[in-house]
Amino acid sequence: MAEGAGGAAANGGSDEKVLDFLDSVDSYLTTMESLAPILRQGWFDLASARHSMGVFRVSSASLDLKDHSASTYLQMVGHESDDSFVGQPSFSLCKWASADNKSCCSEEEIPDSQLRHRGTSRLSENQEQNSNGDDSLKTVDDLVKKERAKTLSVFGTLVSPKLRTAQLSFETALEVLVEAANIRSSMLSAYSQVQKQMEDTREGEIGPIP
């Protein structure tokens, strides 16, 4: 009876892990499917902008090759090191960081050792200030608008609204990609737990080898 109850609990736990895995697979597939139309819209908006502003104005020749800090970077927390698995990796996007403003839209701390950036952008005390109150939200909005405009300024400062729409589409696509990476990470973690569970169950059934 006790063994039956224990077995039922173990099965319930196993089923829960499998369900978690299936849920995460479903989320991953849904997220990846949502990415393609966003990218399509971004490319279409870019073509509209080239049509509006002229193909000679919106071209790869306008892109800036000077050394400059990244305006957006990816933070990864939790990774496999040599012998230990620190935790399932999670990714977050720090958008529109600026060397001038020294602030970022993300609220998370970014450990310097894990950063990949070329410039001097780093979080400052301003982050705490920016997370509070409507005034600070407006400040963040203004900063974001300014950074967006700065990125597009390679094509000129008076650009068509279609180019700004294209920028937003690709920004959204980047967010979806990071979200997909996080879901994939949790999916792989759930899978490894299911696998471990199955191995434990198999060992339990076979028993110790004499």
The residues pairing with 80 across neighbouring beta strands, listed in sequence order, are: 85
Q: For another protein, how many residues bind (rule: CB under 8 A)?
A: 30
Considering only residues 101 to 160 of the shown chain, the ones binding another protein according to CB under 8 A are 145, 149, 153-154, 156-160
Q: Which is nearer to another protein, 11 or 62 (CB)?
A: 62
193 touching another protein, by CB under 8 A: no
The Cα 95–Cα 104 span in angstroms is: 6
Instruction: Yes or no: say if 144 and 96 are a contact pair by the CB < 8 Å rule.
Output: yes
Q: Which is nearer to another protein, 12 or 156 (CB)?
A: 156
The Cα 59–Cα 138 span in angstroms is: 33
Instruction: Yes or no: say if 27 and 180 are a contact pair by the CB < 8 Å rule.
Output: no
Nearest to 174 by CA among 190, 151, 140, 143: 151
Q: Which is nearer to another protein, 63 or 206 (CB)?
A: 63
H or E element, residue 12: helix 2-53
Q: Which is nearer to another protein, 62 or 124 (CB)?
A: 62
The Cα 112–Cα 94 span in angstroms is: 13
* CB of 151 vs another protein, minimal distance in Å: 11
Considering only residues 28 to 57 of the shown chain, the ones binding another protein according to CB under 8 A are 40, 43-44, 47-48, 50-52, 54-57
Contacting positions for another protein (CB under 8 A): 40, 43-44, 47-48, 50-52, 54-57, 59, 61-66, 145, 149, 153-154, 156-162
